[in-house]
Structure 1
Amino acid sequence: MRSSLLHGVTRVTSLRYPGVSVDFSTASAFRPIQRIVATAQNGLEVVRFGGLETSRVPAPFDIVERKPMYRLRRYFPDVPAGERPPIVLIPPMMLAADVYDVTEDSSAVTILHENGLDPWVVDFGSPAVDEGGWDRNLADHIVAISEVIDTVREHVGRDVHLSGYSQGGMFAYQAAAYRRGKDIASLITYGSPVDLVAGLPFGLPAGMTTKGADFLADHVFTRLPITDWMASTGFQMLDPVRTLKTRFDFIRQLHDREALLPREQQRRFLMGEGFVPWSGPAVAELLKQFVVHNRMMSGGFVINEQVVSLAELTLPILAFVGEVDDIGQPVSVRGIRRAASRAQVFEATLRAGHFGLVVGGTAARLTWPNVAGWVKWREEQGEQPEIVHAMDYAEYGQNHSGVSAGARIVHTAASVAEVGAGVGRGIANLANNAVRGTIEISGEAARALPRLVRLGTIQPHTKISLGGLLAEQGKRAPVGECFLFEDRVHTNAAVNTRIDNVVRGLIEVGVRPAHHVGVVMETRPSALVTIAALSRLGAVAVLLAPGGDLKSAVELTGIDTVITDPDNLTSVAATGTRILVLGGGDNRGLDVVSGSDVVDLEQIDPDAVRIPGWYRPNPGMARELAFVLVIGTGNRMEAKYITNYRWAVSAFGTASSASLGVGDTVYCLAPLHHSSGLLVSLGGAVAGGSRIALARSLDPERFAEEVHRYGVTVVTYTWTMMREILDANVFPVGAQHSIRLFIGSGMPVGLWKRTTEIFAPARVLEFYASTEGDVVLANVTGSKEGCNGRPVPGTAAVRLAAYDPITGKFLEDERGFVRRCEDDEVGLLLGRASAATDVKGGMRGVFEAGDSWVPTENLFRRDADKDYWLVDHKATVVKAARGPVFTKPIVDVLDDLPQVDLAVAYAVKAGTSEIAVAALTAAEGAEVTAAAITEALRGLLPADRPDLVHVVDNIAVSPSFRPRVAPLSAAGLPAPSDRAWYYDNYDGTYKVFTDSVAGRLPWKSTA
């Protein structure tokens, strides 16, 4: 009880002295004294008790469920459960659950109840008093809300309308995505940001803020929480004008108790009583996932080791938007339209600030009655509320300024003209864009520079390896996410523990450093772990393609041991090697092969293995062999040897060229046994500290789902991989996605253009990485389709050597050195040998005395901009009677035709020489004509054009999706038909290839 002195007295109306009587209520001269006394009385009450006594009784509720993480309140429990539509209200992490029942006239729960709804409120309590509260993380809140939905659903027997204010709305979105919408009728949020980077408070530059958030998440909130007074102060500082105005108004009216009482509960709530502390882990996770990585927009945030994306939401959504909300800025709130592109998203826009959306006159008059109207409309019990309309993000997509300072002042003081606010916005936009651009550019440089410096310091004896980089990553960020597979997240710590356990198993079965061990595995976690374990042990991983000619590959490489998964056990058993089996889960089916040469590594207890004295983790040095890739088939099968330095060159080169960072999720479409998968996908992601999303196989439907769910930002490919995805039409033009980049090698020009059109504004980063030497080229800008770009900084310098592809000899100058090629002259690409390069097969004294170069097997030209273009492999050049004909330029011009789906060019033997033949498949519903072929090939010189062009029903592709020309070349000349054309030298056109024409052509007579 309060003191009776203060509780009963609010105003002094008169004073009586002997012989004197003064009535303050009528004597104007004494009214200032009356104000002073009333101010003193009310001020003393505020000082002693924190505010004025309002005698308000909160709305009635029962605690339906009580758990360490939360209490579930059901308001107005006298109403039988199930009679009314249930709505669950979620507070933000920093506010008490009473935010939905602050004042009598604007109580959310009361208004919703009066409008026929059944309100439930989640009370997270306070980490300061709840057991284990300071250890709560973000996932704990989401899982708690999921449990609440189950509980309410069980009580009322119907789907729940899930609702949240500010961060509570973010929780609602995340919990709905976590549950894939199960048992949720609709989502309703109030000032809940989604695109946090686009709508930072006061228009702060994204680069600056995300870097600060990253630092706080890693180094501050892992140790410290946010206390209630810090939360209160921070909230008030976000709108300092309103805070000062509120305090000034309160002091100015402190003498008038009746005027203050209606707003007293709200004032006390905002001045501190309504705020609760935040646990450090929850804040750190919030900053990391949703500010640093902005994964509410991109997808791929993690809840309980499950990958979640808002893109999976399909249920109706209503977002309340405050026009002058500086915390949940309109552009950020409207991000839900893009993030949940498959959902029906509506909005209701109010002239209100952040707090005013849920508490106060505007909330009482507009927010809560329209929430009730929305629920009834979705329950088919009423009409669509007038202020609710479909959200159209497009009209707001270019606004990156959020709420301007001018708009805030207009809202608070109503004294700034709109034209002035507009000018202010323009200036703010200009400044913000300039600062943001500067920070982004410097950020990319900051990421790239350490990688390039490290690459430049690698010497032959420097320890560098895949296993070593994964160990570094594990020490730097043990709980960081290493890779994703089938919706599960594997942390750096867990991956490194698994690698170490596999190493122990390999030691137990006798694998030692430098031992060449085959790996035949599908793309899966155990494959990545196996490759890394061999690297950590110092052994050499010989990567073989599942389903290939394994017996020939084993003979070629001389391996005696193969690690495989159960899926490939039968085919590996036919090679006669010792077999080590890893992965595959419980149903492994190892009984299909019996014998002493099959060892199940999963049955070895790593703790029981004695570690020998010779073992040193990650002993691999730059000059040492790390991997062997087997490429080609039949008599063209060959082994390519990759040193640790060669792998590091590609890894760091990819990471720097693609600007890969911890915010990226790299989707590995390329198999790990392919050079693109090993050197670009895996290497670039590990060197960049990015998450790796492993795709089991190329499945367009799964690709579409996982891109959304994982928040994929970078997709790796080989050759024509993207063709199947585009043909499946799983991504309509203009569909929302998080992809910013496609990286790989061999993408045809036409497919390149289709990919960038469908996935705009993403671009293609085409690489060329030689398996000989340390050459890495990258088309970083993506502006020239089909171009391989320039050498990546830190990789080998390159030169084009004059070369005769007919004789296979270099062309020399008058001094006897190899002649350097001029611009647009075709030559053999050479890379300068470095100190860490094994120069076996290299050349010395090439362009000057004493120099050292490693030749590749590919022919290039260099244009006037110093960009390099692949024109052919030296073994596939057509050796025509008129001279060499290069196949890739032919393919590029044909593939650029919209009527063409896929094109190849190849040689067909004709007597003592060869003729150039091009084969193509027509795009669906398109007709290829002689006129179109003629027009397309006019871009080549007559001597460079193919002798024959024909349409085929299908062009086979290899397991790595490279078009196969060997079957077509072996079939010889195409049969004359109206789908085949020959080149007429006389008028430079292509004409129908008929029987009569075939009999007259030169190659017929010389065959």
Structure 2
Amino acid sequence: MEFSILPGVVSAVDKVLATAQNGLEVLRLGGLDTGTKPTPFQVVETENMFRLRRYFPEDPGTGPHVILVPPPMVSANVYDVTEQYGAVSILHSAGIIPWVIDFGSPDREEGGTERTITDHVKAISRVIDIVRETTGRDVHLGGYSQGGMFSYQTAAYRRSAGIVSIITYGSPVDMLGALPLGLPANIVAPGAEFMADKVFSHLSLPGWMARTGFQLLDPVKTAKSRLDFLRNLHDRDALLPREDQRRFLEADGWVAYSGPAIADLLRQFVVHNRMVSGGFVIDGDLVSLAEITCPVLAFVGEADDIGQPKAVRGILRAASSANVYESRLPVGHFGLVVGSKAGTNTWPRTAEWINWQSGDGESPSEIEPMREVDDSGKPGGGVSLSSRVTHGLGAVADAGTAAVGEVFDAASSLQRTSLAVAQESVRTVPRLFRLGQIQPGTRISLGKLMSENNKRTKDSELFLFENRVLSHEQVNTRIDNVVAGLISCGIRPGQHIGVLMDTRPSALVVVAALSRVGAVAVMLSGEWNLSEMLRLAESRVIITDPSHLDQAAEHSKQVLVLGGGSGDSRAIAKADGHNIIDMEQIDPDAVTIPTWYRPDPGLAGDLAFILFTRAGGKLSKWPITNHRFAMSAFGAASAAGLSSSDTVYCLPPLHHASGLLTTLGATVAGRSRIALSNGVDAETFTTEVHRYGVTVVSYTWSMMREIIRSPRFSINNHNPIRLFMGSGMTAGLWEEVLDSFPSAKVLEFFATADGSAILANVRGDKLGSMGRALPETNPVQIAAVDPRQEALEVGENGYVRRADVDEVGILLSRARQRFESSSTVLRDVFTSHDRWELSGHLFKQDADGDYWYMGTASAIVRSSDAYIFIPPIEDALSRVKAVDQVVAYSVGTPGNQIAIAAVTARAGEEVDTTKADSITVTQLRTALGTLPAKQRPHLITLVDDIPVSESYRPLWVEMAKRGVPAPGPRVWYRDAEGRYRRYTKTAAAELNWG
């Protein structure tokens, strides 16, 4: 009897045997032997940070050269994983000479675990120089994932020198725009900051952990890949084509990642997202991707959950000076560079791009200019559900999953919105709470706030100036050194010390050092009478910089010089009879610190600064207590929503309230960076906005006019500015700023001299409005005024009447802090036992509760038939497109004054009624049409120039000195109906205003 074995049994036995045999090989060797060999290369240069590979060294080649950069935690072999689909082989076959940077594994390199982003960027820059010197040709620079980020950063660092083009593969730029797994930025950013400061600054990432982290970012694909491998373990022929790729991902492809480099990545490019905004730091230099000028090609993985499409496309906004292209593939992160689709798409397209950019080929059909894509409706930064399913991530999904996903997306959106509100509250509420808790005996001052910030984030950047970066720790050390110098020069707490310096880091350090000692900084202006300021402030000592030394020595017998150089590089002239000390020559370590010294002793009620104002040509001192400083600092920081991610660009001089209180104070309170400019210049502004990553610009008066109306002004709409904050901007200039910066808002502040009232137009939706009182500052009210008596109007109940809606009255602020009231305090005003400070400023309140500034009580025009308010006139005329500057003022004696508005024409404009775009009487009349006839100026005159102060405030006093304009074709007068007519000699004789 014969027995036969069923075919199915034989097949099953064969599978078992094959599985056992292949499994044993995997266990013994780590994988199946594919028989493939690495592509030949030669290490042509070895340095501490890298080994430079030149592939196919036997082939001299005549084509273009490309340098490929791997991510720091991935082996350089990522460009040669498979023989058939490897990058270097495909590029070489297209006539391109590939070079690959091998960073090695940091845990095996000397000093490797201490590497930073700067080390990687400088290494790549060094490689570019080596290849260029060797070949005599510029190079193309390409990078995968963070290797692409390095490529962008290197190109920006070099200002594109020596680089023909940049090619990146799944390299995110807008890190917070789309994080892996759709994680919300407002959750990730604080966690990333903690990890950067507390974990990775001390700990590196081993290779196995880097591999595990990468796999966890795409757990479904990882599990599916392993399951497929096990299910096909019996079929060697099916496994071999993907075996090299599998082994690379599962074991061979991963290296350690330096902790400081991770911390740098998290801090600069995740927490602060400075790949987009600019202002990141490489080797102490400020760098912006906006300075990339060579063409860029970004490969976008439509199913990439790590380098998500929205994050990758951030390069379009960041590199605003470059021509940016993209090529899309239906793959995930790793599939962009390794595998069959990379071999048939990515690398052939890369070769076409390189040859095209080198002038040796046609424009590739699968590469197109990158355009703005609205990814707002897609979860995960633009990775669509269909892309995920195609890629295999949705293999377990069924028809009902899509509906559930929509509900989940809606819930996630709501959650993100709630978290955004919560985060803003977390940032703002503590500031306001601290502000509300300040009492006369509370220790608070500029010096103390800077000390606190140094303890929190000593390594973070604080001052940016002339492309230099100073950290909190560096600035704090400098402050302490200057403190030692001040003490050695006899400066003591409470002493009034004049400060006459340009707005430079040394000036800010001096002000902070005086605060730390407990002295009073008297902020002097070089354009005003120094002797008068010193007399009013009771100051005999001036701290100055070398550029103001002669001016300071002319008005003070004791002058301390700081900044502008040190050591033997300069010689400070010693005038006869003067005590001039070069503080840069003082060795702080040699100074004996006295026992009375206590750092940052200032209490809320103590005098901290003295500023100066000039009203009607009269100079007055403006005392600022520590409480007043804190109110402005915390209030402005909260209103502007400042955080450590912001860079505030300071245009106003430090002796102006906007420079000292709004800018410096708010920056310190918000723990932001402060960028200082050498002056108001359109070209400098454009360059520094991008290079510093400026998000907030502080201004005063007509300062922005010098920038946006300059013929040299040009800025891309993708600039990082989100806010302009300051005071004194006219409605017309405000409108033009918003037109020039569509993504920004204007935050206009108003504050009384003693700080009892602080208003801010936080919403920014009403041009010209001062908004409302900031939270935790004094409440305000408008008291009605009796125009006949020019006094507060008392109602029938005996109390002062509150002004009605749109009625002009005097602004009062509730008197809370008795210890610093420097203005008139009234009692029993609106109710029994209430206390209000009289401001002397006129306001009206609209139906929405917003306040509108109407000028000071002293500047009101008292004509024979009406009171005329200056600010509404200036706002109205400023909105005439042909008008450049405007200032309104009065001439004559009270009761018989006339209101005059002077305007200048924009460059190229003429007074010609036949031209629609010139200044015409019709345009002026139309602009003033919203004002009642009697509230319009009596005369409008076109002048050649309007002088402005150092803070760009139009000097109406200088204009008033010119008297009533002479009759002529450039002057118009208001008739009885409120219309404007030519001011002729006949009209002048009839009106008799001269």
Give the drift of 1:589.
5.6
Q: Give CA deviations for 1:433-465 in whole Å, capped at 9, x if unaligned.
A: 322222111111110010011111111011100
Cα deviation, 1:319-342, whole Å, max 9, x if unaligned, reads: 111122111111111111111011
1:772 aligns with 2:754: yes
- 2:631 is the counterpart of 1:649: yes
* 1:508–1:641 distance in 2 versus 1, CA, 3 Å: same
Is 767-776 or 390-399 further displaced after alignment?
390-399
- How far apart are residue 972 of structure 1 and its match? 1.4
Give the SS at the match of 1:913.
coil
Partner of 2:618: 636
DSSP 3-state at the match of 1:222 = coil
Give the stretch that moved more between structures: 102-111 or 898-907.
898-907
Q: What amino acid is the match of 2:193?
A: D
Give the distance between the partners of 1:20 and 1:95, measured in 2 at CA: 61
In structure 2, relative to structure 1, the CA distance for the partners of 1:699 and 1:148 (3 Å cut) is: same
1:246-275 deviations in Å (ceiling 9; x for gaps): 112211111122221221111011113211
Letter in 2 for 1:636: K
Q: 1:221 deviation in Å?
A: 2.1
Q: CA deviation at 1:133?
A: 2.0
Other-structure match for 2:547: 567
Aligned match of 1:3: none
The residue aligned with 2:806 is 824
- What does 1:468-547 align with in structure 2 at a 5 Å threshold? 468-547=448-527
Alignment of 1:47-86 (within 5 A): 47-80=27-60, 83-86=62-65
Q: CA RMSD in A?
A: 2.4
1:18-38 Cα offsets, whole Å, 9 max, x none, are: x9999x9x9553221121111
Segments of 4+ moved more than 4 angstroms:
19-22, 394-400, 413-429, 586-589, 592-596, 729-734, 804-808, 814-817
Deviation of the 1:217 alpha carbon:
2.0
User: Structure 1 residue 95: deviation in Å?
Assistant: 0.7
Q: Distance in 2 between matches of 1:973 and 1:59?
A: 88
AA at the equivalent of 2:635:
G
Measure, in 2, the Cα distance between the counterparts of 1:58 and 1:168: 21
Report deviation, 1:728: 1.7
Alpha-carbon offset, residue 999 of structure 1: 1.1
- 1:32 maps to which residue? 12
Letter in 2 for 1:474: N
Match of 2:973 among 977, 982, 987: 982
Alignment match of 1:300 (pick from 265, 275, 279)? 279
Which is worse superposed, 490-499 or 946-955? 946-955
TM-score by length of 1: 0.94
Of residues 859, 871, 874, the one that matches 2:854 is 871
How far, CA to CA, are the matches of 1:328 and 1:604 in structure 2?
53
Give the stretch that moved more between structures: 849-858 or 177-186: 849-858
Q: How many pairs are equivalent?
A: 982
Q: Deviations over 1:854-894 (max 9, x none)?
A: 32232111112111111011221111112321111111122
Match of 1:880 among 855, 863, 873: 863
Work out whether 1:922 is the aligned partner of 2:922: no
Would the aligned equivalents of 2:107 and 2:256 in 1 still touch at CA under 8 Å?
yes
Partner residue, 2:699 = 717
- Shift in CA distance, 591/501, structure 1 to aligned 2, threshold 3 Å: same
For 2:139 and 2:3, the matched residues in 1 are separated by 67
CA deviation map 1:380-428 (0-9, x unaligned): 1222222122111256687663213442122227879999998787656
Contact 1:106 1:359 in 2 (8 A): yes
Select between 392-401 and 277-286 the one with higher mean Cα deviation: 392-401
Q: How far apart, in 2, do the equivalents of 1:423 and 1:929 lie?
A: 62
Partner of 2:914: none
Change (3 A) 1:996 1:95: same
Deviates more, 1:570-579 or 1:809-818: 809-818
1:935 maps to 926
Q: 1:949 aligns with which of 934, 937, 940?
A: 940
TM-aligned CA deviation for residue 514 of structure 1: 0.5
* Correspondence 1:346-357 to 2 at 5 A: 346-357=325-336
Shift of 1:895: 1.5
What secondary structure is seen at the aligned counterpart in 2 of 1:591?
Answer: coil
- Does residue 261 (structure 1) correspond to residue 245 (structure 2)? The answer is no
Partners in 2 of 1:71 and 1:625 — Cα distance?
A: 61
2:887 to 895, 904, 912: 904
Residue of structure 2 equivalent to 1:913: 896
* 2:211 aligned counterpart, secondary structure: helix
Within 5 Å, give how 1:524-673 maps onto structure 2.
Answer: 524-585=504-565, 588=570, 590-591=572-573, 593=575, 596-632=578-614, 635-673=617-655
Match of 1:374 among 353, 362, 368: 353
Contact 1:671/1:960, CA 8 A, preserved across alignment: yes
* Residue matched to 1:802: 784
> Any gaps of 5 or more consecutive residues in structure 1?
1-18
Hey, what's the Cα distance between the residues in 2 that align with 1:421 and 1:100? 37
- Once the two structures are TM-superposed, the CA of residue 488 in structure 1 deviates from its matched residue by 1.2
Secondary structure at 2:698 match in 1: strand
| Counterpart amino acid of residue 44 in structure 2 | V
Q: 1:938 to 1:29 in 2, by over 3 A?
A: closer
1:462 aligns with 2:445: no
**Distance in 2, Cα, partners of 1:443 & 1:344:** 36
In structure 2, C-alpha distance between the alignment counterparts of 1:486 and 1:397, rounded to whole Å: 38
For 1:231, what is the secondary structure of its paired residue?
A: helix
Deviation at 1:47, TM superposition (A): 2.0
CA distance in 1, matches of 2:204, 2:446: 37
Cα distance in structure 2, aligned partners of 1:503 and 1:522: 20
Distance (whole Å) between structure 1 residues aligned to residue 269 and residue 211 of structure 2: 22
Residues 776 and 795, structure 1, Cα contact 8 Å, conserved in 2: yes
1:574 alignment partner, SS class: helix
8 Å contact kept, 1:805–1:874: no
Is 1:972–2:952 an aligned residue pair?
no
Match runs of 1:152-551 below 5 Å: 152-394=131-373, 401-412=381-392, 430-551=410-531
Deviation of residue 738 (structure 1)? Answer: 0.3
Mean alpha-carbon deviation: is it higher for 96-105 or for 880-889? 880-889
TM-aligned CA deviation for residue 373 of structure 1: 1.8
Residue 5 (structure 1) aligns with: none
Summarize deviations over 1:5-62 as a string: whole Å, max 9, x none.
xxxxxxxxxxxxxx9999x9x9553221121111111112212332112232211122
Task: Identify if the C-alpha distance between structure 1 residues 706 and 805 changes in structure 2 by more than 3 Å, giving closer, same or farther.
Answer: farther
Deviation at 1:808, TM superposition (A): 5.2
Which amino acid in the other structure matches residue 65 of structure 2? P
1:736 is matched with which residue? Answer: 718
Deviation at 1:802, TM superposition (A): 3.0
Describe how 1:691-730 pairs up with structure 2 within 5 A.
691-729=673-711
Cα shift at 1:807: 5.8
Report the AA paired with residue 470 of structure 1.
Answer: M
| 1:782 counterpart = 2:764 | yes
Per-residue CA deviation, residues 837-870 of structure 1 (Å, 9 max, x unaligned), is: 4124331414144433332232111112111111
The answer to whether residue 833 in structure 2 is matched with residue 854 in structure 1 is: no
Cα 1:377/1:572, change in 2 over 3 Å: same
Distance 1:729 1:242 in 2: 55
Structure 2: which amino acid aligns with 1:602?
Answer: E
Contact 1:894–1:900 under 8 Å retained in 2: yes
2:699·2:725 contact (CA, 8 Å) conserved in 1? yes
Please report how far the alpha carbon of residue 990 of structure 1 lies from its aligned counterpart in structure 2 after TM superposition. 1.5
Paired amino acid for 1:919: A
* Counterpart AA for 1:274: G
Shift of 1:809: 3.4
In structure 1, the residue matched to 2:990 is 1000
The Cα shift of 1:644 comes to: 0.3
Q: Please, which runs of 5 or more residues in structure 2 have no aligned partner?
A: 910-916
Q: C-alpha separation between the residues in 1 aligned to 2:151 and 2:405? A: 32
Deviation of 1:974 after TM superposition, in Å, equals 1.3
